[in-house]
Amino acid sequence: MLNKDVSKWKLNKKAIFYISVLILLLIELFPIILVFLTSFKSQIDIFNANPFSAFMPTLDNYKEVLIDRTFLNNLKHSMIIALVTTTISVVFGVMASYSFARFNFKGDQKIGLAILASRMIPPITLSVPLFLLMRKVALLDTYFGLILAHVSFIMPYVIWMTLPFFQGIPKAYEEAALIDGCSRFGAFYKIFVPLVAPGLVVSATFSFLFSWNDFLYALILAGSELKTAPIVVSGFIGQFGPKWGSMTAAGSLILIPIFIFALILQKYIISGLAVGGID
């Protein structure tokens, strides 16, 4: 009798736990679900306050966003900028990080601190001088200008994130290669880089995300001719009354690659977040 009660109570406890987890997930994911749902709603259904009322799903919003090639072009801009930014940041960032992790040299501490501390500087601070300087050298509204601006905060991130990881890699392999007559760069490129490849994938993923998500620099340093996707999405809520349908459809399209990354790399992302934070 008593035994039965105990097991029943345990079952209840389990049920309560799962129900609370479910409620938590529902609340936390609600805005995301809403964006996806709304993107399939017609204008009339969007203005029905009850988000769960039945509606006729429609692809009109996606058609409207994709019908002229403008938004696809914006996605392309974002993609190119993110890819080039990631490449530059990871390649040179990793070399710098390697230098800090492996050598003691004059000024290493000062340079390292300066680069890492720069991660803390709010981007709005850098945006004022970058705007003025890029105006002077005609880099406003160019791929190159925006890529440079993104590298300015993403490369320090790469260094920040990879440094503790590199310091934990034993030196023995490279030393063996050096003794075998390999050059220092050869040891780095042929021995060290393959060894840390998983870490590089994670830092590349984050680099891509940060560039893809950037709004501030895209707004200030570009935006009239060169528009990235986040700028366009916010533009749907512009002067002519909010177009929530287009906003959510375009928003869904730029969220998809991010969520795919986040789910695939889940295991690594936790350690990445714990070290480097998020921008």
Partner 1 sequence: MIKKLKNTIEGSLIKWGFLEKKDDIIPYAFLAPALIILGGILFFPLVYSFVLSFFNWNMTQSGGAEFVFLDNFIKLFGNGAFWHSVRLQVLFVAISVFLELLIGLGVAMLLNHNFAGEHVVRALLLLPVFILPVVSGLTFRFMYDPQYGAINWLIGLFGFNPVPFLSKSTFAFVAIIIQDVWRMWPFMFMILYASLSSLPESPYEAAAISGATKWQVFRHVTLPMLKPSIVIAVILRIVNALKAFSEIYVMTNGGPGDATSIMSIFIYKNAFDFYEMGYSAAASYVLVAIALAFSIYLVKTQFEF
DSSP label at residue 265: T
Token pair 């590199």 in the structure block, residue: 166
Residue number, 59 or 114, with CB nearest to partner 1? 114
Number of H helices, E strands in the chain: 15, 0
Phi, psi of 156 (to 5 degrees): -60, -35
Least distance (Å) from partner 1 to the CB of residue 279?
7
Residue number, 66 or 257, with CB nearest to partner 1? 257
Residue number, 4 or 52, with CB nearest to partner 1? 52
Q: What is the 3-state secondary structure (H, E, C) of 23-48?
A: HHHHHHHHHHHHHHHHHCCCHHHHCC
Least distance (Å) from partner 1 to the CB of residue 8?
19
Residue number, 57 or 108, with CB nearest to partner 1? 108
Asked if 223 and 149 touch (Cβ cutoff 8 Å), the reply is: no
Residue number, 72 or 265, with CB nearest to partner 1? 265
Least distance (Å) from partner 1 to the CB of residue 174?
12
Least distance (Å) from partner 1 to the CB of residue 48?
7
Q: Which two tokens stand for residue 264?
A: 């695939």
Residue number, 6 or 108, with CB nearest to partner 1? 108
Residue number, 25 or 195, with CB nearest to partner 1? 25
Separation CA 233–CA 236 (nearest Å): 6
CA quadruple 129, 131, 134, 139: dihedral, nearest 10: 160
3-state DSSP percent of the chain in helix, strand and coil, to 5: 75, 0, 25
Separation CA 174–CA 105 (nearest Å): 19
Residue type, 251: G
Least distance (Å) from partner 1 to the CB of residue 79?
14
Query: What are the angstrom distances between the C-alpha of 193 and each of 66, 73, 83, 174, 256?
Result: 41, 34, 20, 10, 30
Burial class, 106, CB count within 10 angstroms (exposed 0-12 / middle 13-18 / buried 19+): exposed
Least distance (Å) from partner 1 to the CB of residue 1?
27
Residue number, 40 or 188, with CB nearest to partner 1? 188
Least distance (Å) from partner 1 to the CB of residue 34?
6
